[in-house]
Structures are given as structure tokens and as C-alpha cells.
Structure 1
Amino acid sequence: MRVAIAGGTGFIGRALTKALLERNDEVYIISRQSSSGRSEPSGVTRFTWSELEAVPALLEGIDAIVNLTGESINQRWTSAAKQRVMQSRMTAAARIAKLMQSLKYKPPLVVNASGISAYGISPDGIFDESSPTKVTDFLSEVVQKWEQAADTIPAKRLVKLRVGVVLDKKEGAFPLMAMPYRLFGGGKIGSGKQWLSWIHLEDMIQLILFILDNEDISGPVNGSSPDPVTNDAFGRAIGKAMGRPHWFPVPAALMRVLFGEMSTLLLDGQRALPRKALEHGFTFKYPTVDAAMNELVGSHR
């Protein structure tokens, strides 16, 4: 399979590239920087957006495009940062739509990453792919506009991958989430009742491969584990796997002072279930939070 990855140099993109190469697929990374002066692994070709806009035929005959492009939301949400977060996603979707229109042989599949925030903040709702989307805050607004932009992509099969919090030992949000427990200072954040829809990085990558290989999957797909948990339960699972106490609560007011509006990432959430993945037969390697934590931090006992 020949797969183009927009955002292929990011956290998920690098892991996806590695997994595709391991099964002997060809990977085309689309990024802002050219590969001049650097050697790419065998099986990897890098193009810039500018190169593709000038010569779209460079991607003629590929089988799929996976769009993972987007400014990180892990920063203080100033007006400028919000604009970058929104614009980066809108621009990438528009570029892919234009690229698709320029190709004679269009790839039949586009996987466009978005987020679990599509369902809005909810303390007690349970959401699957059939649930309506809702704008309740900045992130849910970003996802709604992101998915609307993706709808302009002329793909035979468009998958909107609503990604939860992706857990990995070294990258992403998890190392910071686990840090207080390493220092014996872990505990619930705010009320601890807010839901966290998470997924282990390995399962995230395998789910994308599963989508690439299964032609009957389209539309929204929740990229989250079948075991969403509350913030309190998540912290307890970290502490249990690490052999550390879960005892030091962090007041919501302190989080708002420290992180401003971005504190919603820790104080609010959604309870999302991966119904479509399960119905199509996808098997999670880490289906429960305890299984994930044992792999991520269990060796630190």
C-alpha cells in the first residue's frame, strides 16, 4: 500500500510511518520542510506542500492520505495560539481537498484526524459515532470546523478519526500526567469526576492500519479505548501500576490559574466509546486502563 501522511513528522505520524514500513508499505510524508540535507529511511519519500502544489502528480496513484496535521493544543490558549490551532487544521484540510481535485487517479481513502471533543463537554453523557456533535467550548468548535473542512475533500471513503488522549511512555501528554506520581504527589485533579477518553499509542496505530485495510469503514470513528475512565480512576490506575500513592488532590482553581483556558483539558471531558471499531472486529491490545498502565509505567515499581 502507498500511503501519504500529512503531519508525518509528529508524535502519531512517526509511529504510523514506522508501522507502515514494518509491513513493507510505501510512505510519503507531507511536511513544511524538505528532505534536502537529510536521508530518509528506505521506503519513505518526503514532499513539501509547496512541491505538491506545483506538481500534484508526485502523489499520483497512492492508495490513501492520512491527515494528522495540526498545531499542538498543549500550550496556553492566547488569542494568537487559538488562531494557530484553528488555522493549521483548516489549512491542511483545504490543501488536501485541492490536492485531491488535482489528481487524475484519486486515492480512494482519506483519514482525517479530529478529536473526541466533537461531542462537547459532558459530565455524564456517553457518546459513540452515532451521537450528535455539539459546540460547548473552544476545542469542540475546532473539531466541528475541522470536520466541516474535511467534508470538502472529494474522497470515495472519508474517515473522520476522532482521537482521544493518546498515551505513550515518552511522548504526548502522559509523561507529564505521570510525573506527580513519580514524585509521590499524585492525586485527582479538580472533582476527579471528569471523563477521560484515552487510547494507547500502539492501539491508535493499529486502528489506523485497520481502517486502511477495511474498505467498509467510513465516516466518524472514535479513536479511543473501550474503557474511558474518570480522572480519579485514571490517577488511581497510574498509582497502582507504579506502586505510588494517589492522595494529593489538585484544586480546579489552581489549574485555572496555572493554565488558563487550557485547563479545560484536565478539568472537563467526554465519555466516548469506540462502537464502530468494535463492530468491525477491531481488537484492542490495551482495552482497559489497568492493562495500559501496566505497560506504560508498571516496570517502575
Structure 2
Amino acid sequence: MTYAIEAQGLRKSFRTHEAVRGVDLAIRQGELFALLGPNGAGKTTTIHMLTTMLRPDGGTARICGRDVVTEAADVRRRISVTGQYAALDESLTGWQNLTLFAGLHGYTRRESRALATELLESFRLTDAGGRAVGMYSGGMRRRLDLAAGILSQPEVMFLDEPTTGLDPQSRQELWEAVRRLVKNGTTVLLTTQYLEEADQLADRIGFIDQGKVIAGGTPEQLKASIRGKTLTIRPGEGTDPADICKLLASEHGLEAHKDEDGQVVKAAIQEAALAYAVIGTLFDHAAAIDDFALSEPTLDDVFFALTAARGKEVAS
């Protein structure tokens, strides 16, 4: 098996804080791998080590067979990095930005012009190519940044939370651009806090928490690891979601949690009969409910189960 990205026991500390605590990765050529985890889990620090921006304190990492420490210059020639903020000149047009980056990568003036035109069309930016980037939306800037990133013809592209702050339509457009990159053979390592994004794009996923990769597999494998179904409850006006969590724990021994917005309660249910009993209990306690549903587990449910289990291990 040929791997585009390999890491064994990768570690990094900042003073007394151990940010990355022995990360292992094996990402195949042409694969889109998503690294998921909460803020402070070690995602960005791992990316910085893999892209030679930080020197590891321990372990090893190789990109396309090149060591990130001893062959850093060779690694940098093979990768491209795109983060949350587009590295573009806002005073120049989209076309001018691309011709500038192409020239920096050694293309002739004629080649740069042709590439800029081709990339604007490929990333659906032709109509905006003559406008200053300062007038672009967030999604358009991010797509232009991706276009600039592939001018070096990278074997591996690192996308560090590239859709943070984008509206749903812009995220969808960026997803399409990323899919095209992978289809053309580029290996992509994506970090994101949007689990739906990983579910839509990734061939495989790794969950990182407290500096360690705690689980990995395809989206389907990870969701199948959560047995049973997920009960989702949307409390009505005057009912605190936290009170529902406590009630489910005290009456049915269920470990419920609130979603990111704090407005929806979720709990893993092994049998449908228990779901009916839970709803009956809520009505018995006069809890207002706007809606409830029983569904297959999502990556959000996997993430909660993994981090909850991890928290118990640390506590013990």
C-alpha cells in the first residue's frame, strides 16, 4: 500500500501543554481524509507539523515518502495548504491574482494567462474574474484560494477548516471544488468542525481528541459502531433542554446531550419501545415537546459517544 501521508507517534508540546500526544495516520494516495475534533483537540497543530511549519517533538511523519524534518524542502514542493482565510491580494482582480501566483511558480507569462483563464472557468469564477477580490464573497475567495493552491500541481493538499464562516450555498460550492480535486488525483487532508461536511466528502475519517486519534474508519463504519437508533427531541417553549437530559438520565438511565445550538436533545436508544416510554415520561412530567423523531445514528452521535467515553477514561 502506497501512502501519501504517514505519521507514527507524532507529538508536540507548548511549554507544559501537550497539544499532540502520539498521532498515527496512514492516508492513501488519491484519498480524501477528514480529521475531526473539537477546538483544542490538536487538529491544526498536527497539520502544521505535517506541512513543515512546526517541528515535531517526537515521532515521525512522511509526505509522499519524504520526511517532514530531514526533507522539509522536498515536502513543501509537493504540498499546498489552504486555511480559513484566503491568502489573496484584495486590490487585484481574481484573474490577476492567479497570473501572479502562476508566475511565482515558474510559469511563463503566456502560460500564466492561459492557466488563470482555465482555473477561473473550472472553479466557476469566470464572471468574477475581472473584479477586485475585495468585492468577492467569502465562498468566492475560498474557491479562488483553492484555484491558486493547485497552480503548483500539489500531490497533497491540506485544507484546514476551509468552510468556517461560509453560508450553506458557499459551502456547497466549495465542496464541489474539493470533489473535483480528489477526482483529478490529489490527496486531500481536511480538518473541519462540520461533521456533515466530513460525511459528504470523506473517504475515511479520523476523530482526534485531547491530542490523540481515538477512532477511524469510513463514515458508514463509524456510524454502524453506534448500535441502535438516535432519539431526537425538540423541546417546546418553556421547557429547558437541560431538564430533559436530567429526566432521561434519572428515569431511564439514558445519557442524553444537547446539540451544538443547545436547542435539541439527543439520546442513543437500543429499542424502539424505549423511545415510546421516554416520550410517555416527558408527557407525564408535563414537558412541552415541539417534535421528536427516531433515526439512524449520524456522525454527530458518533462524535458525542467517542468524546463522552474519552472523558470517562480521563476522569477514571
Scaled by the length of structure 1, what TM-score is found?
Answer: 0.31
More strand by share: 2
Scaled by the length of structure 2, what TM-score is found?
Answer: 0.30
